Amino acid sequence: MKRNALQATGPTTVTEGDETLDDTFDALADPDCRAILGAADTAMTTSELADACDIALSTAYRKVERLSETPLLVEGVRFDPDGDHAAEYTRGATDAAIELGDDGVTLTVDDSASDPVSAAFDTTSVSAD
């Protein structure tokens, strides 16, 4: 049984002096991290992401850990009836905006278009009957 990863609620903003800002830009500069973000449009385990991105599993673990420290990737749990639960990841952002101002750089990452409750009601195979 598969459960979608939890999503953050609303935009996340990071500014100069916030370590997350540098971590996010560093992750976006990494081609493997960008590939993982591209593949993570649906919840996937690290192993599934490694296969989808054609990268070594050890590399995928490092990159997923790096991305999980940013607002770009969200961790959830894939429940298994046999008790073999696994971490799964999904893209935590659908939009990002960079603002340059007097106080430096501000990055706002927005996930509002990926609301899991709305997505559940948009699923054609779900019926209230």
Task: Give the model confidence (pLDDT) of 48-85 as tens digits.
Answer: 999 999 999 999 999 999 999 998 999 999 888 888 88
User: Between 46 and 113, whose confidence is greater?
Assistant: 46
What pTM was computed for the model?
0.73
pLDDT of 34 reads: 95
| Cα separation, 79 vs 3, whole angstroms | 7
Query: What is the CATH code of the structural domain delimited by 12-110?
Result: 1.10.10.10
